[in-house]
Structure formats: structure tokens, C-alpha cells
Structure 1
Amino acid sequence: MITTIGRPNQAVTLGAGTLDRAALQRAEAASLWEKDGSRVLPLWSYKPFCHDTGGLAYLDTKDPKVAGLARDAIFLGVDDAGGAIFAVDVTEAWDVHALEPLQEGFLDPSQQRVDGLSGRAFCELRSVMTLLSAWEAEIASTARGLLEWHNRHGFCAACGAKSNMTQGGWQRDCPACGAPHYPRTDPVVIMLVTRANSVLLGRNENWPEGMYSLLAGFVEPGEPIEAAVRREVLEESGISVSEVSYVASQPWPFPASLMLGCTAKATSCEITIDPAELQDAMWVTREDVALAMAGGHPTLKAARKGAIAHFLLMKWLADEIE
């Protein structure tokens, strides 16, 4: 049985759900771009433009630096004053100077700057997501997810012809066969699996040394959430679980996931990992988790702040979920 725990989702980074997406205005996005008060968020290589002092760095849609980009702009919604908010990919359009190279790996800490726009830089969303307001974090994550979808799905899945962006960026239409295509979101369950005073943690081989987090996996077609939780935990760790409960969700646009945070009670204790899924897994006591979350554990590193795994573990430590 799956139940809902009545906790506000606003506390989950990227998961506030407060952006007015103004879906009924998407068809008129081109005219909204021309209106006074409309703003656009530039993204370079999926990195949002940010002020050095904090917050997203928008430009007026009439700014010469974004002139000519309206056709490819994505309408995200409106602000409290009714002003339209857009996102646009400037990776090819802008000449980025003094480029700090992109860094491969778990997290890219590099920043890229643009001549004539001082005090601002392109920053990896995962590195700044906890520094943004809930509203701006939702704007940045929505922009990133949509831009990546467009870049990955430029051709019709039905006939192979190049498709065209419509509805303010929320749809692609095929001019050859007429098939419409919509942004995809892949549901992923992530589980706080507990047994007495311990929680089940695992690690991927490409994570930083010592970092462990909650187990997670994609929901399969035709599969309910609670079944996905039981299957993924059993497949990855050999642990059987029961009493699945839903807690909160988190959009995770890297590239297109929706994390479904759940809790589950273990009914077995012996771990048998699937090496194709995990490098390691172990039971960790509440005391060790608390020490790791405070940054004081000698060997264990906690899940990154801002990730829903961190949120779930903090709720567990506070006895707000079991």
C-alpha cells in the first residue's frame, strides 16, 4: 500500500511548484516576447546566467544581445506582475570569452563569463540550486529541462523528419506527417529504506570517494510506484521491503527525471548488491548519518545538499518520517 505523508513539497529544492506557467498563453509567446516587462534567462551549455551576488541574471527581451533569438525562445510563464519569462539557449549565439573549460565528472564547478555583462556568469545549476529562491530554482530547472529536450528531440519519432518548435517551446510538430511531440519526464523512485535504527545507503562508482546516498531507479512502463520501489531495492541490494509510503517529489532535469521520494521498511537484512547497479551498499546507523550530514564523519560523505536524498535523510533524522 502506498500512502501520502502530508509534508509541504516547497522544502524540496527545485520542487516548490510556485511558477505560474500560464499554459493558456503559450500559443501567443511570440507577441509576449515583444511586450514591455518581458524577461529572458540566457543559458549556455544548459547553465543558467547568474548574478555574482546571487539570483538569476535576466535580460530584457528587447536587449540587443538577445535580438534575433525570439524564434527559439521558450516561454516559461509569468511573474507576479504578469511579465513574461522566457529562456533561450545562447551556446551558439554568444561569443563567450575568457572561457573556463567545462569540467567532466560528478559536478562542474566552472563558470563562464561574457564581455560586456560584468558581475554575471554561467553556472552549473546543481552548484547554485540551493542558493536560488524557490521560484527562481523552478525557472532554471524548467528552462534546462526543456532546452535539453529540444536539443535531443529535433526529429519526428514517427517519420524521422525534422520537427518544428511550437506552443512557446512546449511542443514540437512534424511538418511531414503532422505528429505532435511533447516534453518527456521520466519517473524515478528514490527510497529511504530503514531497518530499526539504520538506513540502507549505496554508492555509484563514479561518485566522489566516500559518498553514499539512497537507492533509486526508473519506474518501468505499467508499473505502480510501490512496485517500483520494491523491485529496485531488491534488484540493487537483495533487500526485501514492505510498507511503501510516498513523501515528496523533486523535478531533476539532468536530463529529464521526476524523483519520487518514498520510504520503505526492510523485511530482510542481508545485502547482496548487483555490481552492474551499485559499487557498494551498507546499513548505516542514525548516528553515523547525522555525523556525515554534519560533515564530521571520518569516511562517510552524505548525499549532496539540494538533492531529495538529502531532504529525506534530514526528515528521517528529525523523526518526521519513519
Structure 2
Amino acid sequence: MARFAPPGFTGSPLVRIDNERDNQAYHDEQLARADAKLLRLTGLAPDVLDGGLLGWGPASEVAPDATLALLGLIDGAPHFVPIDPVQENGAQRSAAMSAALGQLKGDEAATYAVARCLIDWHSRHQFCPRCGKHTRPMRSGWARLCDKAAEGCGSEHFPRTDPVVIMLAEFEGKILVGRQKPWPQRNYSALAGFVEVGESIEEAVARELFEEAGVKATNVRYIASQPWPFPSQLMIACIAEVESADLNLDTREIEAAIWVDKDGVEAALRRDESGPFMPPPPFAIANTLLNAWVAGA
């Protein structure tokens, strides 16, 4: 397979130490270490330092009543993040957030993605979906418990990841990109949709392409995957050969779609104004997918 740059939000140096998450003594020992770090955030937004680095402070900065998750170890030092509820929509990405993501180094963005997903999940799972009782963090911030001691049902809940297929339809040397109405003019990207229950990746790719663009997939090949922390998807990038270039767009989902050849995609990735569209940002796996297709993946 042709080589291409790894997707955004991958490559974190975190050692996740899952085997110690149930060990409260270990958690407390790590928090008390002189080299323990605390991620500096404003709501869900990270502090970004020169050089594209995340801002970390000493763990002693933590508020007395704060709840922390132990993200893991980086270069042997424990790294924590506050997981108290935030009044912010984790699915939204402001212009300031996009700018911050554009500044972060790839491995730093990957570590931030882990922290953001955890914070947002805890904010949205304060109550048990089985019995409605309040839940509390457990496993060093990597789960929540509906505690029987507090008249709960005893259920344990773990951070979820929602699988999403994102794909390029391919026909006779061209690929299909589409745009949604709220996007800036000339911005196009790969088509995408959630994997439904009881559905394989290949079936989801074929269904979404037919539903959104009216094209029928004949062969689906996997390219790469990416965690997407807005709020907590796993993007599964594929390329699908299709029967024809005839389109039947679902205009509730897709405002417009165009077929683009390799030269056009290369111009778009250069952000050339003469190109047929403007591509998604480099940290999005749709950008990786376009680069992979150009490279012959």
C-alpha cells in the first residue's frame, strides 16, 4: 500500500496503564508525585504553547473539590485531567478551537483528544441510563458506577465510541466529494455516516453512499481510522468503487457533490484557488483519505 501521513488525533505518547485503573492507592501515589502534570483547559479548549505543545501545569494546581482522571504516563510522568461537568457542547467546534487544533503537533492533539473525550463523556453521563440514579467516577476516571450504596442499580458504565464510516466513491479515475449547506462556499469533503447496529463497515459504506448520493458500491477497501473527539467518534476511512457516476443526492444531507480527478484533488490539497474545491483541514481524516487516494491507496 502507498504510504501517507498518519491521520490526525493519532500517535499520542500516552501509556494508558489500564491494569492500574482500579488501584486507588496507585492513583493517589501518582497524583502526589512532584512530576505529576495537570492539563490546562478553558472549558473544553486546550492551552496551546509555542511549538504546538499542550499547556500542562503541576498537579498541585488542582482545585480541592475537583475530580481527576489519570490519562496515563508520558515519559514516565503521570498526566491528569479534570473531569468535572462542563457547560459546553462537545460536538461543536468553534473557530478558536479549529485554530488551536491547527497549531497543535500531531501527538499533542492526540493526547488532547483522549482528554476531551473523557471530559465530555463524564459531563453527559452523570445519571444511570438503567435506573436514573446519579453515577460517580471510578477506575481513575475511566468509568462511572451507579453505586448500590447510594440506592443505585450497581451498573458500571464505560466511555463509548461511536463508529462512523467516511468514504470516497471512486469511478473511472475520479472520486466523489460533497458539501453540506452550512459549510463555507467551495468547501467539500468525503461523505460520511454512522454505522448502524447490526451492520458491518462495508455495509455501512454502501448504504450511506446510496442513501446520500444514489451510487452503488461494488467494492470497499479500508484505508485508515481516526478518533474524532467531537464528541467521541471513531472515523473509519474507506474508498468504494461504484457502478456509475450517476448521482441522486439526498439534499437534506448533501447540498452538492462533484466528481474530481487526481489533478483536481492535488490542486485542492495544495489549497490552490484554481482548484475545484477547498479541502478539509489536515487534522481531519477526510484530508488523509484524499491524500491516500492521490498516493494510490
Q: Same fold (TM over 0.5)?
A: yes
The match for 2:133 is 161
Shift of 1:17: 5.3
For 1:84, the equivalent position in structure 2 comes to: 78
Partner of 2:64: 68
Q: Where does 1:199-278 land on structure 2 (aligned, <5 Å)?
A: 199-278=175-254
Give aligned pairs, total. Answer: 286
* Deviation of the 1:53 alpha carbon: 4.5
Q: What is the aligned counterpart of 1:315 among 280, 288, 292? A: 292
Deviation at 1:36, TM superposition (A): 2.0
2:95 aligned with 1:109, yes or no? yes
Does the residue aligned with 1:147 lie in a helix, a strand or coil?
Answer: helix
2:190 is aligned with 1:192: no
Is 1:106–1:208's contact at 8 Å kept on the other side of the alignment? no
Q: In the alignment, what sits opposite 2:32?
A: 34
Distance in 1 separating the partners of 2:21 and 2:92: 35
> Closer, same or farther in 2 for the Cα pair 1:36/1:134, shift >3 Å?
same
Q: Report the equivalent of 2:57.
A: 59
Further displaced range: 167-176 or 48-57: 48-57
User: Any conservation in 2 of the 1:14–1:129 contact (CA below 8 Å)?
Assistant: no
AA matched with 1:47: A
- Amino acid of the residue matched to residue 312 of structure 1? L
Preserved CA contact (<8 Å) 2:213 2:249: yes
Counting aligned pairs with the same residue, the percent is 35
Residue 107 of structure 1, CA deviation: 4.8
CA deviations 1:264-293 (Å, max 9, x no partner) are: 111121111111211111212222222122
- For 2:115, the equivalent position in structure 1 comes to 143
**1:142-180 CA distances to partner (integer Å, 9 max, x unpaired)?**
000110011111100000011001111110000211111
Question: Any unmatched runs of 5+ in structure 1?
Answer: 93-101, 111-123
Gaps (5+ residues) in structure 2?
A: none
Q: Tell me how far apart the structure 2 counterparts of residues 108 and 245 of structure 1 sit (CA, whole Å).
A: 33
Provide the C-alpha distance between the structure 2 equivalents of 1:11 and 1:284, rounded to a whole number of angstroms: 23
Instruction: Between 297-306 and 40-49, report the one with greater CA deviation.
Output: 297-306
Counterpart residue identity of residue 121, structure 2: W
2:72–2:80 CA contact under 8 A, matched in 1? yes
Does the CA contact (< 8 Å) of 1:288 and 1:297 recur in 2? Answer: no
2:8 matches 1:13: yes
Whether the 8 Å contact between 2:52 and 2:108 is mirrored in structure 1 is: no
Letter of the 2:240 counterpart: A
Distance 1:84 1:258 in 2: 26
Root mean square deviation of aligned Cα: 2.2
Change in CA separation of 1:230 and 1:17 when aligned onto 2, cut-off 3 Å? farther
TM-score by length of 2: 0.89
Aligned to 1:113: none
AA of the residue aligned to 1:171 = A
Using structure 1 for the length normalisation, give the TM-score. Answer: 0.83
CA distance in 2, matches of 1:238, 1:25: 49
Amino acid at match of 2:270: A
Seen in structure 2, the aligned counterparts of structure 1 residues 83 and 17 have a Cα distance that, compared at 3 Å, is closer
Q: Check 1:79–1:17 CA distance in 2 against 1; reply closer, same or farther (3 A cut).
A: closer
